[in-house]
Structure 1
Amino acid sequence: MEPVNQIDGRAYPFGQKNVDTDVIIPSHWLKTITREGLGRGAFETLRKDPDNLFDSAEFAGAPILIAGDNFGCGSSREHAAWALLDLGVRAVIAPSFSDIFSGNAFKNGIVTVVLPQDAIDRLIEVAQTQPIHVDLENQTVTTPFQDRFTFEIDAFRKTCLLGGLDEVGLTLARSDAIGAFESTVRADRPFLAKGTQVAAAA
């Protein structure tokens, strides 16, 4: 997972409420065996409109998405986070998120920022013409017009996002302690190691 801290750029002024994971990535895209290319299917039904936001040259490659209440509701498909990431989105700002989507986003390096509706309305207004700045370390969202909104985030999630640590990375960060424990177990209980070797040989 790539570390994430400062996210700068244009933001999709989306704003829709109750956007479920089937809207984010339709079910027929779930048959893929790779995460790559899922951005092409992101918001596919909405992109049938030739004037849709996600194919607008003005917002191409925008790293931020501004959404409405209850973003990511519906099924638990992790493909929704993968699709957003492949689209180039590294932060989603909304008044609230589905818990499962928020967890999936975090595990894939996407920052979910919760702000009140009045802040969302202001950011959507600014995003029409100007970039947005998300600062994870200082937990702020700012605009070129001196708007400054602070947000809360779980301390553990913040540490993982800043360090680019997913579950594998967290485990590897403890490799010295794990190795020391295994050495102690082999010395104190050699019969366990022998049993493992016999099982492996069998």
Structure 2
Amino acid sequence: MQPLITHTGRAVALRRDDIDTDQIVPAEYCKRVVKSGYEDALFARWREDPAFFLNRPEHSGATVLLAGRNFGIGSSREHAVWALKDGGFVAVVATGFGDIFRRNAMNNGLVPVDQPLEVVQELMREAERDPSFTVTVDLEELQLRAGDRAFGFEVDQRARELLLQGLDTIELTLRRGTLIDAYERRRPSWLPTIPRGSAAGFAAAEGAR
């Protein structure tokens, strides 16, 4: 995974509140057993409307989604984050997020930027007026910037450090493979065991599933 420190991209407004994970990616797409290839699933039901923002050519390539209140509520499906990522989004700016969605987002390289409603609405107006309107999400400085304006935000610090270094949890585990192997060699033989092999091999097998 590439480090995510600062991202500048075009913003697009989705003026809806209480968007749950089933609206982000309908349940029928969750039967897939892979972590990528969900671009067609993103807001699939809403995209049946030709006027929906993802169907409009001027918004093609937008990477920052501006949404309303309570984004990502509902079930814990991680597919919602995968679909947003596959749809090209790097950050979602909203007023409040579902707790599980927020954790899933940071663990998968999607930055949830929580802002007061008046800030989000101000950015939405500009994005609607000018499809080329860009914002910057600075994960190092924890700032959302638009023009000469800057707004602070907070994220989970451990997840932030991993994104800044370009690491996911599997890669972090692999860095500790030698220590894990040494620990397993010292374990009493009567304790439960995992299949023989190094921590690196185990993590690689998990990643291939």
Fold agreement, TM-score > 0.5: yes
Q: What are the within-5 Å matches in structure 2 for residues 105-184 of structure 1?
A: 105-128=105-128, 129=130, 130-144=133-147, 146-182=148-184
Contact 1:81–1:108 (CA under 8 A) maintained in structure 2: yes
Match of 1:89 in 2: 89
Match of 1:80 in 2: 80
Match of 2:189 in 1: 192
Shift of 1:179: 4.3
Give distance in 2, aligned partners of 1:90 and 1:51: 23
Let me know the Cα RMSD of the aligned residues.
2.2
Contact 1:12–1:54 (CA under 8 A) maintained in structure 2: no
Relative distance call for 1:179 and 1:35 in structure 2 (3 A) is closer
Contact 1:7–1:63 (CA under 8 A) maintained in structure 2: no
> Per-residue displacement from partner, 1:33-63 (whole Å, max 9, x unpaired)?
3333311111112111111111221111211
SS at match of 1:44: coil
Shift of 1:182: 4.8
Q: Which deviates more from structure 2 when the two are superposed, residues 77-86 or residues 122-131?
A: 122-131
SS at match of 2:86: helix
Aligned residue type for 1:166: D
Contact 1:13–1:127 (CA under 8 A) maintained in structure 2: yes
> More strand by proportion, 1 or 2?
2
Match of 2:29 in 1: 29
Identity %: 39
Give distance in 2, aligned partners of 1:59 and 1:9: 11
> Per-residue displacement from partner, 1:59-99 (whole Å, max 9, x unpaired)?
11211111111111111111101100100111111111001
* Residue 48 of structure 2 is aligned to residue 45 of structure 1: no
Contact 2:106–2:160 (CA under 8 A) maintained in structure 1: no
Give distance in 2, aligned partners of 1:112 and 1:121: 16
Give distance in 2, aligned partners of 1:39 and 1:2: 20
Residues paired across the two proteins, number? 191
What are structure 1's unaligned runs of at least 5 residues? none
SS at match of 2:96: coil
Match of 1:2 in 2: 2
